[in-house]
Structure 1
């Protein structure tokens, strides 16, 4: 019989498990695809590799194009630099020394370039005898990340290099650098800052800035404003206050300058402050020295005229704005020239230094004591009434009256004349105050010297000299605008026929209406207000130019130009005159004669002798004018190498009727002949006087009898007419 055997097995559970496993695989695939990872499964024993489409796409292939993949293929496309390392990592993992195999490797792309992948795998199964079998893993394309990492690495290296460069630079530069954090605590000092503050960077770390950076105001010695606090408060670069001084840990002081700047991040948040400063002690010392020299007299150390003018203006403004009261003194030494001429300029300088100390002892430290020039001084007494100022002025007079200047075996009484003026809101300008003080000082001299003359609104001396003050502006205008004109008066030769014209240059001022002003009206003001040397320069330069431009220069044998006593004693004028004579040459200088009064020559004997010697060396002749007018001595002629003696007119006017004048003129003429000098008589107004001068043997005569002054151009025209 036919039999059948049937076996029935219930596989429900197995089928259910297979479906569950399939669903799990599906979820795993979805998860892997969601991570954009390439997967690989490697059978170590057969070398077979199963990959998913993403794994192939990362390398530029499709699964179909790749076909069967082996581990040898993976080795072939791996970068040779990483291949030994990856094999080592796999062996370590297979040996159980790592939980997973993880490596970053380069694989060759289908197009030939290298890509970076992160390769992760884990041994899943082993063979029955324990050998590695299946390894599952994933690939992630990390090429972009690697590029970013490399860029960041390069940037990091660059930043590190820059940081090192900055650190070395900050250590090497000459400026001191301190950095703080956002709370103002010190975070770093460079070596210069360490040296100047006396703090090491490690010691200063975390300390408040002002404990390390101790700064004060140089003048007040009060703490200086904190630049870091100001920088943080304002969020901008802040400069240090002027005159800031850094006091180091050992109390060494440094004058410093510079600034504090905020350190901000990319979002503009304050991270801290960098303080940069440098030592300006030497520059500040030199600047202070230059300022001192510019504002102080080199000889006495007192304030000079320029600084005095500045302080005078400041004092007047204070008086006008605050109705305050001050006082000004002008001080002139009475016998300074006597010492200067008798003992020399070096000794005169010693006298000025001693007087400066004496004056300084008589005033307060807050007052301004200035040397205006020569032997003239001024004192500004701030917040001082006229009564108080009068007592100070009289004290100075008394001290100077008791003072004796001693040089070798000689004793000199000096004395002072002081002009005292109130400084209050009544004055419109400092020049008006100074003119009043100058006039008051002059009034003190005229009243007998060594006294104080206090100015008042009704001052008679002020009214008496007001016309001189008014002349100063007219003189200034004439100098600047050619308001002066040169006239000339002939000088006649009495001993024969002269080779050419002899004449004296005279000065006139032209009024706006065309009329002429005689020199007696304006020259006293020019002398009084120290404008006479400028007038002398004007006259001498134009006289020289007139001579130089003559078509027939031989027509002029001698042209005399008067010089004032101030010019004779002014070394700056001497230098200017020497330069002028050197420029025009001997052809002009030989026809020029400088007339210097006997009084001016004797008063400035040493300067006059040097000046006369040097101008004569240039070919210029010199005439001693008004000879006999002062307490003259023929002994002075030995020290003054002149060419002419011009006898003062007081001996000429009454020459015929006064035997004493006649005897004096004969004496002057005899001495002149003995010394080889020519004589000139001035103020010759009548024929009898002229005849008597010829009989005595005077060489030249000058006066209205012979020629009335006329414009200088008329000299040549008159000479030409007389020849015709």
Structure 2
């Protein structure tokens, strides 16, 4: 027995030596880190790849694995993919060496558990040469791959610089925003290959008109922008007319079919009170929207005095406030308890609510700023803040997490289709060790209709892991029952306008009863909102509604002042 044990021990030692030799002599960079990014070990090839003399130097100087990436958020996305698929293989990412130079590497990795600790084991090798053979890194980063014109990223960078120049030297600056029409018709009729060729041909013609007068970029699928500075800025309207004429005269031919296009052009001159690129882009987008309302092939110039633009002007002020709130931690989370009506209340059950805090300490309700956030693509950033802040708070309050039965978190419709946010959320669950079954995501009925496929895909991803999904404001649309069977949801939150008058309005009571009957047949729970009295709560309980939420149950309170129900 002793001899057998000795042989087994010798074999293990030999295997360990083989592994050590492989680790040290591998041509690929190999490393291990904790899930939070702290480096544990690196091999010589890894050091060489990132410009360090030896493993000791690298482990001393690199505080976190996110320093490998030119964009540190790429590591979060990779972790999200690993949490989703179990591993990542051959993901090509832009990295940064010790001396600050950028390069491309391919990374593969997976998370393993050892001695009750979770580690990320990864391998990396340089793919810069192959990347550069197709297109230079600089060109790839700044140009649209289909059309060859500048891309949105480069446009945003140049616009930021142009704004700084305009403010510093009081020079002119004008932005044109072009939205092409009829592209969808070509895609639907002839396929995306034809649509791509159309975009490529037309962008060449539009770019030649702009030429050296300004910067021409593709900022969306069928959206382009022109940046004009200095002496060229006052000539923007003339250039807009030239671009409009190019589109009007353009003919696209595909397999004996001839297509004509239209374009709407929004013009936004810079004013001294505009401080961010987002504001100027939003103004140009709003002007483009007004041009579209006039009909095909129109130009509209943004003006704060234009009555039609006043709504957009108000929204623009919220864009600035939202960005400031995100940067300066001016958002605050509230909670509102909800109560089970058919079973005993166990643990904490509440909905998270968002508030924006003003300098005087007053809280601004979300209905004031969320419409602007959704219109100008800021809602996903807000959702990201809510999840990161709340999960971090739970980590710091483990006793609260233990007693938490379910928290409801609202997601905007734009977030549902944001693939990067989906990976971020997956990673957040793993990073903070939050049990999936304790989280319910709420999506609104109106957005679920508009983004049906994306909504179902998003729900399926997280439902498999244990999350619950609720359809908020149900009953607000006449088509509600038609698509309810198509959505794999767990709860239905009944629109408050149907709930608050059920004691005096028999039609509202009948609709609530109808929703209850349908959802029960589909195996879904019901939550009644706007429950403002004990009498309404009792009536809902008799109707078989599962949960009640509203001022009659509990008022919203700051999360930092949490009290049990």
User: Aligned pair in 2 of structure 1 residues 555, 470: CA closer, same or farther (>3 Å)?
Assistant: same
1:650/1:297 Cα in 2 relative to 1: closer, same or farther (>3 Å)? farther
Q: TM-score, normalised by structure 2?
A: 0.63
User: How many angstroms apart in 1 are the aligned matches of 2:496 and 2:182?
Assistant: 29
Deviation at 1:592, TM superposition (A): 0.9
Find the counterpart in structure 1 of residue 408 from structure 2.
560
Partner Cα distance (1:657, 1:530) in 2: 41
1:579 to 408, 422, 427: 427
Q: Which consecutive residues of structure 1, in runs of 5 or more, have no partner in the other structure?
A: 1-281, 407-411, 720-724
Q: Is the 8 A contact 2:498 2:512 kept in 1?
A: yes
SS in 2 for 1:666: helix
Residue 364 in structure 1 maps to residue 243 in structure 2: no
Matched, 1:489 2:336: yes
In the comparison of the two structures, how many residue pairs are matched? 426
* 1:361 shift after superposition: 4.1
| 1:391 paired residue among 226, 241, 262 | 241
Give a deviation string over 1:246-300, Cα, whole Å, max 9, x none: xxxxxxxxxxxxxxxxxxxxxxxxxxxxxxxxxxxx9998496333211112355
- Partner residue in 2 for 1:514: 361
Task: Report Cα offsets for 1:605-626 as digits up to 9, x if no partner.
Answer: 2222111111112221111112
Query: Residue 399 of structure 2 aligns to a residue in which SS?
Result: coil
Contact 2:439 2:468 in 1 (8 A): yes
C-alpha RMSD over aligned residues: 4.4
Q: CA deviation at 1:357?
A: 4.2
Equivalent position of 1:550 in the other structure: 398
Given the superposition, is the C-alpha separation of residues 685 and 294 from structure 1 closer, same or farther in structure 2, using an over 3 Å criterion? same
Structure-1 separation of matches of 2:185 and 2:391? 34
Does 1 or 2 have the higher relative contact order (CA < 8 Å, sep 6+)?
A: 2
Work out the CA distance in 1 between the residues paired with 2:551 and 2:401: 25
Shift of 1:480: 2.8
1:707 equivalent in alignment to 2:554: yes
Equivalents in 2 of 1:284, 1:665: separation in Å?
60
Aligned counterpart in structure 1 of residue 466 of structure 2, from 601, 615, 619: 619
State the SS of the aligned residue for 1:718: coil
Distance in 2 (CA, whole Å) between partners of 1:602 and 1:297 is: 32
| CA spacing shift, 1:605–1:685, aligned 2, 3 Å | same
Residues 210-225 of structure 1 mapped to structure 2, 5 A cutoff: none
Aligned pairs for 1:561-710 (under 5 A) are 561-585=409-433, 588-630=435-477, 632-710=479-557
For the residues of structure 1 that align with 2:358 and 2:272, how far apart are their CA atoms? 35
Counterpart CA distance in 2 for 1:616 and 1:635 is: 22
Are 1:505 and 2:352 counterparts? yes
How far off is 1:560 after superposition?
Answer: 0.3
Give the CA deviation at 1:505.
0.3
In 1, Cα distance between the equivalents of 2:448 and 2:467?
17
Alignment of 1:189-588 (within 5 A): 286=133, 289-309=136-156, 312=159, 328-332=175-179, 354-355=198-199, 357-358=201-202, 360-362=204-206, 364-367=208-211, 368-373=215-220, 376-380=223-227, 383=232, 385-392=235-242, 394-395=244-245, 417-422=264-269, 433-444=280-291, 452-456=299-303, 458-548=305-395, 549-585=397-433, 588=435
Q: 2:110 corresponds to which residue?
A: none
Query: How far did residue 636 of structure 1 move?
Result: 3.2
Please identify which structure carries the higher helix content: 2
Distance in 1 separating the partners of 2:274 and 2:365:
33
Shift of 1:339: 11
Describe the superposition over 1:452-488 as per-residue Cα deviations: whole angstroms up to 9, x where unpaired. 4222463344544334333334323332332221101
TM-score normalised by structure 1 residue count: 0.51
Tell me, in whole angstroms, the C-alpha distance in 1 between the residues paired with 2:186 and 2:518: 30
* Equivalence for 2:564: 718
- What SS is found at the alignment partner of 2:219? strand
Distance in 2, matches of 1:451 and 1:628, equals 39
Distance (whole Å) between structure 1 residues aligned to residue 390 and residue 368 of structure 2: 22
2: CA distance, partners of 1:430 / 1:706: 44
Deviation at 1:639, TM superposition (A): 3.7
- Structure 2 unaligned residues grouped into runs of 5+: 1-128
Change (3 A) 1:672 1:414: farther
* CA–CA separation in structure 2 for the residues paired with 1:437 and 1:466: 11
> Would the aligned equivalents of 1:381 and 1:389 in 2 still touch at CA under 8 Å?
no
Q: Which moved more, 1:462-471 or 1:513-522?
A: 462-471
Task: State how far apart, in whole Å, the 1-side matches of 2:508 and 2:540 are.
Answer: 12
Structure 2: how far apart are the matches of 1:659 and 1:415? 51
Residue in structure 2 matched with residue 204 of structure 1 by the alignment: none
**In structure 2, how many angstroms separate the alpha carbons of the residues matched to 1:338 and 1:575?**
33
CA distance in 1, matches of 2:201, 2:210: 15
Q: Whole-Å Cα distance in 1 between the matches of residues 186 and 448 of structure 2?
A: 16
CA contact (8 A) 1:547 1:588 kept: no
